[in-house]
Structure 1
Amino acid sequence: MDDKIDTAEKKVLVDIVKLVQKKDMKGKLGGWKEFLKNHDKKFGAGLSDPSKRSHEVLAEFLKTFSTDEDLKFFDNIMQRHSNQYTLERPKDRSHDSPEQVSESKMSKLLIHKIPTTVNSETLHEIVPGDFTIEQKPARRDHRDKYSVLAIFKSQREALEAYENVQGSQEKDSNGLQQKLVTCRLSTGIDVSVYVRKMGIDNHHKKLPSKRDLPEEDKTLDTFKNKKLKMDPEVEKDDALKALRMKHEIEKKVHLKEIEALNQRLKERELEQLNEIEALNQRLKENELEIESMKEQLLNQRSKESELEIESIKEQLRKKDFEINNLHRMVDNIKKRQKPRK
């Protein structure tokens, strides 16, 4: 299940976390908000919207669940997403002509030998362009790696994306062109994947631009563009692009909010440090004052002791004088009482 969670798209993980919240499910580290409090010391549960959290944070939370019942629940949601994706794809391609099948195949790129630590978001960073991901079944002898198909809207987009992939050019055992791409994950680990074309490369030359086309082809291309503008599919694509742009704007807004929160936290930390410094200063002053009072008290006691000693000495001198007088008196009386001879 950990592998499935790591390779699942972020929107799937977001849906699972939202359902977990709704059902009040708890893993080894508690519920979603409890997990955030322990996992994120800066924001804690203050940023609890799953859609605003990274793929890694969502995956780490879901991995805290280990009971068979919870894992089965996660698996069912993933399966539901997979079934929905299958239904949304064109249902019947059995009547396509060989040319259509070939073009359909050429509008895909194979990304293979992907470590299970690499998620779909990272794949979108490796391969540029607008594409959907179709995961291929994992081989039994390669459980630590998996493969996907990057499905583009046209052959042109697939070829342009392949040309823009930053990697070293190679060929596989069947002579098909592929690129070896190395990237660094957020964990600091370097990983490598292969991006390969799906057919024999008959399109290694650059696609002709409008400037290179004959005048007749330019006119035809202009007509096609006008037709595309009225095509509902094109309108749908425009709506999707607008939605993506909206998401990008929202993402920037969220990033600015996070930066503002970070700034406020830094200011608060600075205020707390200043308060601690002021308290330490007051503590030192109080300690000095206490030492001074102790010294004064000792001096006062010392003076009182000296006075008391002098008083006792004076009393002793008086007692000695009285005793001496008494001795004289006794001696005189004794002398008087001596019998006469």
Structure 2
Amino acid sequence: MDQKLDSLEKKVLVELVKLVQKRGMQGTVGGWKDFLNLYDKKFGSSLSDPARRSNDVLSSFLKTFGKEEDLKFLAKALQCHLNRDLVEKSKKIISVDESPEQCRGWSAQLLNTHNTHYVIYSHHTKRLEWVVTNLGKKSKVMRSNTMYAVDCEMVLCEDGSEALVKVCVVDRKLEVIINELVNPQKAVADYRSEITGVSADDLVGVTRSLADIQKRMKKLLSHGAILVGHSLNNDLQALKLDHARVIDTSLVFKHSDGLRRPSLNNLCKAILGYEIRKQGSPHNCVDDACAAMKLALAVIERGVDCVVREDVPETERAKLLLHRIPTSVPSEELHRVVPGDFTIEVKPSKKAEGGNYCVIAIFNNPQEADQAFEIVNGNQETDSCGRPQKLVEFQSNAGITTSLYVRKMALDEPLDQVSMKKKRVFQGEENSGESKKLKTEQEIKEEIMVDSNQSNCDDHLKEIERLRQEVREKDFQISKQDKIISELRKKVKNTKKDKKKT
């Protein structure tokens, strides 16, 4: 251990010292500040920030730990750092001679290298029961595209902790590698059978322990294998396992609002085209692990869009939200501001909004709601979730110029041409093993022609959209006139009836 400490970079030593401080660990001379008071007579613990100390001071402090338990902790913490450092460095070295399959492996590795990933997967409070995988040699890690997907079920124990009760692992071909019940080896307070599908009777005679599963997982994930899962941090927590090369589909995919993590069931419906389970049904580890693997491969091999657009029901799309309405404007006046035939549902205020309120305008169908939104005069923008809305200025019956927002209930659908373009680009990259080689003059000419054609297509699309807008406006006016004619006919009939009576 001493030789390893002497060869470490300063940032690693600083991280280790901070971990030791956080755990309150004591070496042969006490804690970090005790060591500084003894080691440095001039400044002592007044200069206690590890980042402001030299490598010699940091390594000398870490060498004061000699207990077996402390050395095991330091070895695990060091291995965690080395694993993550290896993954980070391997991102920067991609050979131009790699096959498309190897490049897809690299794509998998890169999927979760963002800030959220590091925050969620930094297990800084590891105890002795935690296992850290060894990624192996750098060359093997860089070229490994071996993938496994995992899903775990946990029970609630009487001591308030959660314990692993079932685990399933599948490989890239969706073949089951592990599908085991696990003895929690603790008194269970709640089996959560409605979720886990496991009861006390299922565990009778089960001897498989967490340590047994950890041993198999550690062997399985050696040599740089990628571990896939949905909300994978929960599974790693249950397995008490630290592995640096992971794909978490709950972080890879995101809702169009960018604020929420999509559920596995919603992702299966949106990306894979099927429902993984009916509402209220218990989880199935094999199904969940297979779904996570399919989702990861959908990105790596087919380049599917990682932004999930929710399927908004027609009843919701037949509505518009009118918000930030001044309380001085009665809801009856809103029919002057927004065109069309709609009913108003005033939404109860959840908080004081500075004298404003909001309502839902309910139309007969989504088409009428869209027409009303298109026709209403206002500056179009989007809300914080990306939904189209307009700031509409108008003069109230009281003669005051004021404003409100009119917003759609769902995002606009993207143009099919955009998704087709993405698909063509991805297919071109996948079919070509020479993506990093210089392009020939012929290829450049072809690209120029494609760009020119694309520009013409864009112009045509704009013209089509303009004509569609005109048609929508005319349809709306015709619909409005039909209603006026219908009302006039009713009045004529009523007038005739009144004359006959007299």
State TM-score, norm by structure 1.
0.32
Q: Which has the larger radius of gyration?
A: 1
Relative contact order higher in (CA < 8 Å, ≥ 6 apart): 1
Larger strand percent: 2
